[in-house]
Amino acid sequence: MKHDIIVDISFDKMMATLRFEPIIEENPKEELTENTVDTENPKEELTENDIAENSETLEEDDSADDANNQEEEITLDFVLEKLDEKGVVFGIDNHAIENALFEKKLNKRYLVAKGTKPEKGNNAYIQYHADNTDTKLPKIHECGRVDFKELDFVKSIRPNDIIAVKIEATIGASGFNVLGEEKEGKAGTDIRIKTGKNVRVLEDGLTVVAVTPGQFKLNNDVISIEPVLTIKTDIGVETGNIRFLGNIIIMGSVRDGYKVTSKGDIQINGIVEGGIIEADGNIIVAGGVYGADKGSLTSQKNIIAKFIEHSRVSTEEDVIAEAIVDSEINCKGKIILEQGKGKIIGGVAVAQSGLIAKEVGSPMGHKTEIRIGVEPSMIEVYYQYRRTYREHLLNLDKAVKNITYLEKATQELSEKKKALLAQARILCVNLTNEINSLKERIKSLEVYIQQGRKGTLIANDVLFEGVEISIGNKTRLIKETTISSKCFIHEDEIIIGVV
C-alpha cells in the first residue's frame, strides 16, 4: 500500500506535524470485467465459467499488482521538500522525521517542527548599595587579632552616598514560529522606586542618594535615611563599639571599654562606665559618668551629665552637671553646677568663661584646681614664645655685630670669612622673620589671656580652704573657707568678693 504524506501547521503556527494516509486507487478487476462484458459479449450474461475465468485472471492480476506496486521508500529529503512546500523553515527536527518514517503509523500525528516562544525579559529590581543587615561580625586586624568590640553594629551613611540603584527591566529574546516569522520578546515587569525622608533620586531616575547623614532604613520597600539611631540595649558585648553620622539615643548604658562616636548628638539614658564618648554635637548622660580614671567624654558642643566622676571631659562649650569629682575638665565655655548638690571636688577643671557652683572643694581639704580663662597649656605656650623671642633677639644682635665687623675690615676678606659673612646675613634675615612672627603670636596670646582674666569663679554656698584658683595668668591658693564667694581679677590680683 502506498502512503501519502500530509503536513499540518497549527493555528498559532508554532508546530508542524506529519501524518501518513493510504493512497486509494480504482479497482482494475472491475474495469477488466466491464470491458470484457461491454466489448466482447455485450449482449450475453456472464456464466459461472466466465466468472471463474475472470477470477483466475484477476487473481493473477492481483499478484502482478503486489509485485509492481510495492510501497515506494519515503526519504528524509522528500519530507523536507514537503515541509518547504508548506513554508516550514524553522525548528525542523530531522531526528523526529526519521523516527516517523521508521514507525509510519496511520492516523498518528508526528511533531516534526516546533517554533520558539518569545521570552520575557528580566524584571526591574532595586540594587541596594547600603546595608541594613546586622552581621555583628568582629573585626579581624591585619595581625590576625580579633576585635570583639568592633562588630559593625551600625552602618552610617554620609550625604550624597549612593543608597540604591534601580536596574531597569530588559526585553526578552525574540521567538520564531515554524514559518520563520519573528515574534518580539516581552519586556520584564517594571517597578517604581519608593523613597521616604532624607533621600532623593538623581536626574537619571535610577540612583537614590542620601540627603543627610544617618542610618539606612528599608520599610515596605520604602528607602529612607533615619538621622537618629536608637539603641534599646546597653553598649557592650552585644553591640560592640558604635560609630554613627547622625544623632544617637542609647536607652541603656555604655559599658567599660566600649566607644560611641557620633557626628551629631549622643543621648545616653543610662550611665557611662569607663566608656569613651565622642560627639560633634551635644553629649547628654542622664545617669551620670563614672570613668574609673580611663573613661572620657569629648564634645564639640555641650556636655550634660547627672554627675561626672574620675573622668576626662573636653568640650567646646559648657559642662553642666550636679556634681564633679576627681575629674579632668576642659571646656571653652562655663562649668555650671547649680542643680542638685552642685559640687566640684578634686581634680583639675579648666573653664575659659568661668565656673559657677554651690560648693567648690571639700571640708577635708581635698586638692581642687580651678583654672579660669586660659588653660595651663596655653599659658605655657605663651611663656615659651616669650623665651624664644628673647633668645632670637640676642642671636640677631650677635649676627648684626658680626656682619658690621666683617664689612668694616680694611683688608680683603679670605674665602672663609666671605662665607661667614654670607651665612651671617642669611641668619640675620631668618631671625628677623622669626622674631616678627613670634611678635604676632605673642600679641594674639596676650589678647586671649587678657580676655580670660575677665572670667570669674562663683561659689554660691561655700569655697573651701585648699582650692587653688587661676584666672588668666594669676594664681591664688585659698587659705580660708569662705561663704558665698566670687573670685575675679582686680588690679592684677585675684580678689575674693561676696556674691
State which H helix or E strand residue 208 sits in. strand 207-210
Q: Across the chain, what does the average pLDDT equal? A: 84
274 or 33, which is more confident = 274
pTM for the whole structure: 0.59
Query: 216 or 30, which is more confident?
Result: 216
Percent of the chain with pLDDT over 90: 56
Say how far apart CA 184 and CA 171 lie, in whole Å.
Answer: 9
Whole-number pLDDT of residue 315: 95
In 338-455, which ranges are E strands? 343-351, 354-360, 368-372
Mean pLDDT over 426-435 rounds to 92
d(CA 333, CA 319): 8
Phi and psi angles of residue 439, each rounded to the nearest 5 degrees, phi first = -55, -45
Strand 319-331 to 303-309 pairing: parallel
Residue from 498, 449, 497, 499 nearest 474 by CA: 449
Residue 437: C-alpha distances to residues 15, 57, 389, 432, 448 (Å) = 95, 142, 9, 9, 17
pLDDT at 383: 87
Looking at residue 136, its pLDDT comes to 46
pLDDT interval class at 448 (50, 70, 90): confident
Could you give the CA distance from residue 409 to residue 404 in angstroms, rounded to a whole number?
A: 9
Neighbours of 454 (CB within 10 A): 15
Would the pLDDT of 169 be above 90? yes
| Candidate from 45-59, 105-119, 219-233 with smallest mean pLDDT | 45-59
Neighbouring-strand partners of residue 334: 354
pLDDT at position 42 over 50: no
- Could you tell me if 118 and 156 are in contact, meaning their C-beta atoms sit under 8 angstroms apart? no
CB 484 within 8 A of CB 381: no
Domains, the chain: 3-114 (no CATH), 125-226 (no CATH), 227-317 (no CATH), 378-452 (1.10.287)
User: 421, 406 in Cβ contact below 8 A?
Assistant: yes
DSSP string over 250-263: ESS-B-TT-EEEES
User: What confidence tier does 58 reach under pLDDT thresholds 50, 70, 90?
Assistant: very low
Per DSSP, the three-state class of 44 is: coil
* Distance of alpha carbon 464 from alpha carbon 255, whole angstroms: 34
By DSSP bridging, strand 319-331 and strand 493-498 are unpaired
pLDDT digits (tens, 9 = 90+) for 80-135: 998 999 999 999 999 999 999 888 888 889 999 999 999 999 999 999 987 765 54
Cell numbers describing residue 213 = 547623614
pLDDT tier for residue 153 given thresholds of 50, 70 and 90: low
Radius of gyration of the chain (CA): 52
Q: For residues 257 and 260, give the distance between their C-alpha atoms in angstroms, rounded to a whole number.
A: 10
Strands (E), 257-363: 259-262, 266-268, 272-273, 276-279, 283-285, 289-290, 296-299, 303-309, 312-315, 319-331, 334-337, 343-351, 354-360
User: Above 90 in pLDDT, residue 370?
Assistant: yes
The H or E element containing residue 376 is: helix 376-407
Is residue 147's pLDDT more than 70?
A: no
Contact 373, 352 (CB under 8 A): yes
Q: How many helices (H) and strands (E) does the chain have?
A: 6, 37
CB 463 within 8 A of CB 480: no
Mean pLDDT of 71-88: 85
Sorting pLDDT into bands at 50, 70 and 90, what band is 137?
very low
